[in-house]
């Protein structure tokens, strides 16, 4: 790989609500990208599956019609925006790879509009109102990084954010920042009792990735209440945020409003932190082989 860029860059995190109309959501995302670019963002990340409402609340084969090829319509729109505004864009999409084969995929567009590559979500959840295993084949590309115009970035998606292995393997490839496009929220009947601790756990685990790897971490979540005719719905809790290499939250959005966060990241800060917290130096790689096992009986 080429040397990691060391100059500061500005990230833009787009937190928005989604309507049932994919075309409307694509246009809204385009407007938000323009707004983020105008505010000075250089690397702009959209939330998970921004073209639709979160359809995994139920198992319905008809919803596979929401998927699209990559490259396709959405990447064409994003590539044009990237080139027009000289920005990098991370766009999370429902990928139709072949008949009967679908992925939860992030496309990475460089500032010249070129698609640098894709990341396919590796960890697929299966929980009440999060029936993703019905829709998505687990990713088969591994954990990756891309050298963009402004810095080397890693991208993982939502449920991936709970697994330290993915963050570590991405950071070990020299990423300056980890982006997590996300769709996470509260079950209405659980919010009062469990809501605060769920949100705190979500932020804490990602801040821990920043600390353990001495790296910037950005989580980009959707916002708003989404409900169908036959489900209780989900209240997406927003709270998109950026953490620095010591896990300090540099910017954070609200839980109930559309917002665009723009903040600078300085890769040189990573070096400063890692010199004082040399976790990579002290890793005992000669004793971690058992991590590839499911369980130690």
Q: Nearest 5°: CA angle at 37, between 33 and 41?
A: 110
Picking from 90, 197, 210, 67, the residue whose alpha carbon sits closest to that of residue 145 is 90
Given the residues 18, 28, 48, 235, select the one marked as catalytic. Answer: 48
- The answer to whether 121 is a known catalytic residue is yes
> What element of type H or E holds 164?
helix 164-171
Cα–Cα distance for residue pair 69/51, rounded to 1 Å: 13
CA nearest neighbour of 214 among 162, 163, 276: 276
Alpha-carbon distance 202 to 91, whole Å? 21
The structure tokens listed for 160 are 């991936």
Which among 32, 96, 121, 144 is annotated as catalytic?
121
Residue found under tokens 């829709």: 135
Are the C-beta atoms of residues 157 and 92 closer than 8 Å to each other?
yes
Closest CA to 83 of 109, 62, 57: 109
Task: Indicate which residue of 56, 158, 259, 265 is catalytic.
Answer: 158
Residues recognised as catalytic? 48, 121, 158
């Amino acid at each position: 790989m080429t040397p990691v860029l060391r100059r500061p860059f500005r990230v833009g995190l787009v937190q928005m609500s989604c309507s049932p109309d994919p075309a409307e959501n694509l246009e809204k995302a385009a407007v938000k990208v323009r707004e983020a670019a105008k505010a000075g963002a250089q690397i702009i990340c959209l939330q998970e599956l921004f073209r639709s409402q979160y359809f995994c609340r139920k198992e319905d084969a008809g919803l596979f019609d929401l998927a699209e090829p990559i490259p396709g319509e959405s990447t064409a729109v994003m590539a044009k925006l990237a080139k027009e505004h000289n920005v990098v864009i991370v766009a999370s999409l429902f990928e139709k790879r072949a008949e009967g084969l679908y992925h939860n995929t992030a496309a990475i567009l460089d500032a010249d509009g070129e698609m640098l590559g894709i990341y396919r979500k590796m960890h697929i959840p299966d929980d009440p109102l999060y029936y993703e295993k019905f829709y998505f084949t687990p990713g088969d590309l591994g954990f990756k990084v891309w050298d963009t115009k402004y810095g080397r970035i890693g991208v993982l998606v939502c449920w991936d954010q709970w697994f330290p292995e993915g963050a570590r393997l991405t950071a070990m490839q020299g990423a300056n920042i980890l982006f997590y496009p996300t769709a996470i929220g509260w079950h209405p009947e659980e919010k009062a009792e469990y809501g605060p601790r769920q949100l705190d756990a979500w932020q804490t685990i990602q801040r821990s990735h920043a600390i353990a790897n001495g790296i910037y971490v950005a989580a980009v979540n959707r916002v708003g209440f989404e409900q169908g005719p036959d489900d209780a719905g989900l209240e997406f809790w927003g709270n998109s945020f950026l953490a620095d290499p010591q896990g300090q939250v540099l910017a954070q959005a609200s839980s109930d409003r559309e917002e665009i966060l723009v903040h600078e990241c300085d890769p040189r800060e990573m070096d400063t932190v890692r010199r004082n917290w040399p976790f990579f130096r002290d890793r005992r790689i000669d004793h971690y082989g058992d991590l590839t096992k499911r369980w130690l009986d």
